[in-house]
Structure 1
Amino acid sequence: MDVEIRLEPGRAAPKVLILTGEMNETVAELARRLSAVESRFLAGRRGDEVLLLDPAQVRRIYAQGQQVLARTEGETVLLKNRLYELEERLAGGPFLRVSHGELVNFDHVRSLDLSMAGTISLRLDNGDAAFVSRRNMGRIKSYLGI
């Protein structure tokens, strides 16, 4: 594989062009990896302050009204992204959609309450609770191996 870097004064963001004779799995994987390269932080707002959140520290991300909020150990931060965008961005990690309006970081789930018929209540390490909708029950049970 040849790699060429061309400098273009005035260009604000890098552009990657893949030239190939045929589409194959190697090229598709390369394109996928290049597309996934993004900042590892989530940008959130608290008043006039922009905060960079490490996704590993975020317990849950949820929609409330027209806003998307991220809950960390001790605070709630407003995010600019839509929930589906964050779900795509965080795919393949510990974040799973548990309901229409919520993603949960399963690295911070401490217990599950199965006592309510037809639902699972998740207790997070910061004291928050989240409920798994019936639609997402199978995926969560599969992820947890139960």
Structure 2
Amino acid sequence: MKITIETPLPGEEDEIIIKMATLSDDVLKMVRRLKDGTGKDTMAVYEDESIRMVPTRDILYFDATDNRVFAYTRENCFETRKKLFEIEELLAGSAFLRISKNAIVNIKAIDHLSPEFNGRFIASLKNGEDIIISRGYVPELKKKLGIGK
């Protein structure tokens, strides 16, 4: 794939042109992020009635409970207005990984892992919390961490 970056002439508007025979899912996701103005560096979260921009590196994990999604940092819990699958798409290719039907974890926030019965793991996070990694998600976790087969 050829990538060309040009500086517009004075007075010209910035623009992005994509020429592809077939648009891949990755390119469509990138276009969606550009249109939404969202990226992987920060995330809008809600604290009471105010909106805060939290660096994603500060988020330890996301948890879905009662049709609401919460972002947990070391000190705080914030509500997001995104669905878990939207967060998973937004943070694809980053340090975040789906670990169960209800949770996404920042693997950089994991202090250590302990095997549990039935193929599950317990992830002890750097803030002292423990979260369960469902057995169906363990292979992807091992792959992301570069361990196992």
Cα deviations by residue, 1:12-46 (Å, 9 ceiling, x for unpaired): xx87554x4x6279x99876654443243111111
Give 1:48's aligned residue. Answer: 49
Give 1:112's aligned residue. Answer: 113
Give 1:11's aligned residue. Answer: none
Give 1:130's aligned residue. Answer: 131
Give 1:58's aligned residue. Answer: 59
Q: Report how far residue 116 of structure 1 moved.
A: 3.2
Give 1:103's aligned residue. Answer: 104
Give 2:143's aligned residue. Answer: 142
Counterpart-to-counterpart distance in 2, 1:135 and 1:42: 27
3-state SS of paired residue (1:138) = helix
Which AA in structure 1 matches 2:74?
Answer: E
Give 2:21's aligned residue. Answer: 23
Q: Report how far residue 98 of structure 1 moved.
A: 0.3
Give 1:93's aligned residue. Answer: 94
Cα pair distance change 1:24/1:82, threshold 3 Å = closer
Taking structure 1 as the reference length, the TM-score comes to 0.78
Counterpart-to-counterpart distance in 2, 1:116 and 1:94: 26
Cα deviations by residue, 1:68-109 (Å, 9 ceiling, x for unpaired): 000001110000100000000001011000000100000010
Q: Which runs of 5+ in 2 are unaligned?
A: none
Runs (4+) of structure 1 moved beyond 3 Å? 1-7, 14-18, 27-37
Cα deviations by residue, 1:87-136 (Å, 9 ceiling, x for unpaired): 00001011000000100000010011114342100000011111111221
Aligned-pair RMSD on alpha carbons? 3.0
Task: State the identity as a percent.
Answer: 20
Q: Would you say how many aligned residue pairs link Structure 1 and Structure 2?
A: 137
Cα pair distance change 1:74/1:140, threshold 3 Å = same
